[in-house]
Amino acid sequence: MRIGLLGFGTVGKGVYELTAPRNDIQVVKVLCRRELTLPDAQVTHDFNDILNDDTIDTVVEVIGGLHPAWEYVKAAIEAGKNVVTANKALVAHYYDELLPLANAKGVSVRCTASVGGGIGWLSELERVRRCETVSRVGGIMNGTCNYILDSMTRLDLEYADVLRNAQVLGYAEADPSTDVDGIDTWHKLIVSANIAFGISLDIDAIPAAGISKITRDDVAMFRRKGYTCKLMSAAQVAEGFYSAYVQPTLVENGALEAAVPMNYNLITLQGNTSGRQSFFGQGAGRYPTAYNVVQDCVDILAGRGFYCPYGVKVAVLNDKRLRYYVRGAKDAWLQSQKQESWGEAIVTKPVRVDEMHAWLKKNPDAFIAALPEKN
């Protein structure tokens, strides 16, 4: 396999290093904005040097973001090249174009590193689907948020202080909004659910609530009540209806999710015969992410393309009712949903997920967290 590598940041450099000792997979050209000389690959500033190189059979895209990543990936597929990408935003947003296009062109597309970093999560979903039906996927999919929430919980610190610390340590970006607003998790949930259920979710109907408004006092209250707060994703199918959402969620101390430390991920599926399976590991980082990029290259060499066939577009109906902790805004509707007070916050009666998120959109300074479903 001769690779054109798009991007030479954290993950790109890792892919270059991990493939260097291999005989079956070689990075031959690297698209990179910086001036750079590499011992085993030609560096170019022009994507066309890769696109028009007929000796390159596979493009590895680790630039991130939607543009120009999507234009590059699309052009590569149209030129008959396989694509491996770690770009969850690209796969989530262009799912309906990416899969039919790859199918039409007879090339392979894989994106295992896009969800769960170093965990073989999407490839395991692919294996699971050979033999059983998946009814639920979700979990802790963003290491930055887990690092922040875990540090606030263990060290009793304010959000801003922990975020600053996470930025210094490299666990959070200078602009952390994609992570802390739940967008990264939202992308990962969409990709996971599409593969798990063999469909294409209507992404506009999937809400995401983030963690940026959480305070030390919120965390202290959760501790007193026996809960730990995690940013969780959830997608389910029941009787042909699909639900999907991302939100801060309280888990009982002692639950597996509550024990996920630092920047680790824990992603869960529910199979109809294997039962609950959860996968714990590094959701990001140079070598874990590059590792799954290389795994995808090995799979493509073995003739394995995308994890599942392109499925029909389906609606999302978040009519499940959950109880929510809500702090930071009050209005008549919220008061009408109140079941109890937790300090200055309230805990609602069971409220429809879509209603709660619609309310949050109008009250963006509020913080919400769902209580465990059994309560």
Q: Which residues are catalytic?
A: 188
Shortest spacing between CB 125 and a second copy, in angstroms: 10
Question: Using the rule CB under 8 A, is 33 a contact of a second copy?
Answer: no
Q: At residue 150, what is the residue type?
A: D
Least separation in angstroms between CB 154 and a second copy: 9
Is residue 274 a contact residue for a second copy (CB under 8 A)? yes
Determine which residue in the list 200, 225, 241, 287 makes contact with a second copy, applying CB under 8 A. Answer: 287
Looking at residue 215, its amino acid is T
Burial class (CB in 10 A: 0-12, 13-18, 19+), 23: exposed
CA distance 286 to 307: 23
Member of 259, 317, 329, 358 binding a second copy (CB under 8 A): 259
6, 77, 237 from 316: Cα distances, Å:
34, 30, 10
Helix (H, G, I), strand (E, B) or coil at 301: helix
Interacting span for a second copy (CB under 8 A) from 215-223, 270-278, 341-349, 351-359: 270-278
Question: Dmax of the chain from CA atoms?
Answer: 67
Among the listed residues 26, 42, 277, 363, the single contact to a second copy using CB under 8 A: 277
User: Minimal distance in Å, beta carbon 11 to a second copy?
Assistant: 12
**Least distance CB 190 / a second copy (angstroms):** 23
CA angle (318 as vertex; 313, 97 as ends), nearest 5: 20
Beta-strand runs (E) in 219-261: 227-238, 241-252
- Cα first-last separation, the chain: 52
Per CB under 8 A, does 374 bind a second copy?
no
Candidates 227, 236, 242, 235; CA nearest to 324 is 227
d(CA 160, CA 211): 11
Q: How many CA atoms, within 13 angstroms, populate the side-chain half-sphere of residue 119?
A: 24
Binding segment toward a second copy, per CB under 8 A, in 161-169, 294-302, 310-318, 361-369? 294-302
CB of 88 to a second copy, least distance (A): 18
Q: Which of 118, 138, 143, 182 binds a second copy (CB under 8 A)?
A: 118
Q: Does the footprint of a second copy cover residue 255 (CB under 8 A)? A: yes
Q: Which span sits near a second copy by CB under 8 A: 36-44, 172-180, 186-194, 257-265?
A: 257-265
Chain residues binding a second copy by CB under 8 A are 18, 118-120, 123-124, 127-128, 130-132, 254-256, 258-261, 271, 273-282, 285, 287-288, 290-292, 294-295, 298
